[in-house]
Amino acid sequence: MHESVPPQWGLDDFLDEIAEQLTRLGIAAPPPDRRTVRYYATLGTLDRPTIEGREARYGEHHLAQMLALKRLQAEGLRLAAIGPRIAGASTEDLMSLAAGKSGAAPPPAPPAGLLTSPDRSGLRTQSVLTLAPGVHLVLDDAELSTTEAAILRTAAAGLLSRITALGLTTSPTKE
């Protein structure tokens, strides 16, 4: 194999590589099984593998995604919070995150206002509604109209008052 060609693994070899790298990096998380890898790909948390013939092939970027995901899970983050954090990150940033280096793959800034977009897998839609500066409501499998967004903002007024009283935000929504 030419050295400039990145390694490609079948699923079983990919699982072995993940387990080996988790141990090497000292990540205290169980390695995934076949079903879990497929589930992560279905969610869009893990990029879909390339297909050669009838076999799925995984590369270095897939490995970096899995290792970063497992590091964040070991730190107590839930899968719903991990996906946006690693989405679109480079292989190098993912490996830095997996290695526990600070400053790697910071979470993306939340969108302003109302954003409705399909997730990376194209299977569901998320609506992100800004209730106040720094306060966002994320709804999976939902597309909100302007009227529905206004209703939710009004309904959240009590929650926003409590958040402000706790000093977690400095100004109420002005949208």
When computed from its CA atoms, the radius of gyration of the chain, rounded to whole angstroms, is 19
Domain ranges of the chain: 11-98, 114-165
Instruction: Report whether CATH 1.10.3470 matches the domain 11-98.
Output: no
Report residue 108 as tokens.
């993306």
Name the CA dihedral angle for 62, 138, 74, 31, rounded to a multiple of 10 degrees.
Answer: -40
Question: How far, rounded to the nearest angstrom, does the alpha carbon of residue 113 sit from its chain's CA centroid?
Answer: 21
Q: What is the mean pLDDT for each group of 10 consecutive residues in the chain (175 residues)?
A: 70 96 93 95 92 94 96 90 90 93 48 45 62 74 70 79 72 45
Name every residue whose Cβ is closer than 8 Å to that of residue 30 and which is 6 or more positions away in sequence: none
Stated pTM of the model? 0.58
pLDDT at 135: 76
Give the single-character DSSP code of 59.
-
Which residues pair with residue 130 across a beta bridge? 136
In order of 107, 135, 168, the CA distances from 162 in angstroms are: 25, 12, 9
